[in-house]
Amino acid sequence: MELIGTIPVRGSRSPRIELMQGDLTAIGPDEGFDVLVVSAFPDDYFPTRTSLIGALFNKGLSVKELAAGKDLDLRTAFSCWLSKDLGAAREIFHFDRILCFEPLVRGEPPAVVGDIFRALTPILAEHADFRSVAMPLVAAGNQGYAAADMLDPLLDAAIHWLERGLPLDVLKIVTLTEQQTNEARALFLQRAAQYAASDSAATVPGKTFDVFISYAHENADDIEIFEQALLRANPLLRIFLDRKTLDVGCAWQPEIFESLDRCRKVVAMFSPDYLASKVCKEEFNIAWVRGREHDEDIIFPIFLHSADLPTYMTYRNYLDCREGDRMKIESAAGRLVESLKRTAHRP
């Protein structure tokens, strides 16, 4: 494959994004990677002549068969599913798994392309050996989107998650045709120059908040009980609670992301509404990658109301306060304050 350009992303792992031209079904052993991303219409894996799924099928790998035995189905939350290990086929194709992106489950592809990286958070929690991902310009084939329409939001999402510590070493974006390459080259090189000239927004010195409360607004009454219990235990606690902390009219998403980078603990208030919230899952994932990147125990999980938690949210012990038990919520607040005291010496 031919390397067209590279964006070195700021972060302790020094990850990079590469734009390449070549055939993802014909890579050599020295060009291998861990996960190949493909895109598809929902539940439609027909091997058309012009698609990557079709090219894989012509060489003996059926995405339809892989879909029948998914290893992890994250389509409801993150528009993606992960295949099982390819086994012996890895010696032919030189990657281990397929991550299938089905954007029309949750929205138009340019709007939800960030779901690929949200899906990678729980996947990388289970597979720490995955370090490299390759993908075509997803949804720019049979789904009919122009290369530029997909590349710009794809780069936005990739830089955002890699800066915040998503544990990948390299993301390869691969074009196939000359036309697609020409469309992508100018935009990629422009974004690379802009990024190199910009200031990093990912690493914010200091910790402005002691506690960031990540919750679904449907659970606001329970959160009020928890917040008041925290303040009774320590009136000087600096608490980020979006409906009280954000300025009216502010660009809320950047401020939330920045605050997640500048807090000592993120309290994840699990409930059915929490799992249904894109914002809540985003907050949890950012806290997860930050904790992994800096080897800190940042997430303080509380099970507020019964819900079927995904595996990656249950990798740590949570405090059981179901079903919104007031005494247990207040007790959990006390436990958190004690935890903050124990770590007060840390920078």
pLDDT digits (tens, 9 = 90+) for 62-89: 999 999 999 999 888 888 999 999 999 9
Q: Is the peptide bond before 323 cis (omega within 30 degrees of 0)?
A: yes
Q: Per-domain residue ranges for the chain?
A: 2-197, 209-342
Q: Write the DSSP string, 108-176.
A: -HHHHTTHHHHHHHHHHHH-TT--EEEEE-TTSSTT---HHHHHHHHHHHHHHHHHTT-S-SEEEEEE-
Asked whether the predicted pLDDT for residue 347 surpasses 60, the reply is no
Q: For the chain, give the mean pLDDT.
A: 86
Measured CA to CA in angstroms, residue 53 lies from 1, 62, 194, 296 at distances of: 19, 8, 34, 40
Return d(Cα 299, Cα 266) in angstroms, integer.
5
Asked whether the predicted pLDDT for residue 229 surpasses 80, the reply is yes
Asked whether the predicted pLDDT for residue 218 surpasses 90, the reply is yes
Asked whether the predicted pLDDT for residue 323 surpasses 80, the reply is yes
Return d(Cα 114, Cα 101) in angstroms, integer.
10
Q: What percent of the chain is modeled with pLDDT above 90? A: 55
Return d(Cα 347, Cα 341) in angstroms, integer.
13
Fold topology of 209-342: Rossmann fold (3.40.50)
Asked whether the predicted pLDDT for residue 296 surpasses 80, the reply is no
* Phi (first) and psi of residue 325, to 5 degrees: -65, 115
Ranges of H-type helices in the chain: 52-58, 63-68, 75-78, 90-93, 109-112, 115-126, 147-163, 178-197, 220-233, 242-245, 252-261, 272-276, 278-294, 326-342
Predicted TM-score (pTM) of this structure: 0.78
Return d(Cα 214, Cα 283) in angstroms, integer.
7
Structure tokens at 62: 């059926």
Question: Burial letters for 41-63: b for 16+ Cβ neighbours within 10 Å, e otherwise?
Answer: eeeebebeeebbbbbbbeeebeb
Per-residue pLDDT, averaged over 126-148, amounts to: 83
Per-residue pLDDT, averaged over 7-26, amounts to: 90
The upper half-sphere exposure of residue 64, i.e. CA atoms within 13 Å in the direction of its Cβ, equals: 9
Per-residue pLDDT, averaged over 243-262, amounts to: 56
210 DSSP 8-state letter? E
Task: Give the CATH class of 2-197.
Answer: alpha beta
Other Cβ atoms less than 10 A from the Cβ of 93: the count is 19
> In this predicted model, which residue has the larger pLDDT, 142 or 176?
176
**Contact between 109 and 121 (Cβ < 8 Å):** no
pLDDT at residue 279, rounded to an integer? 83
**Contact between 142 and 118 (Cβ < 8 Å):** no
Q: Give 254-285 pLDDT, tens digit per residue.
A: 566 777 878 889 999 999 999 888 888 888 98
**Contact between 11 and 74 (Cβ < 8 Å):** no
Q: What percent of the chain is modeled with pLDDT above 70? A: 88
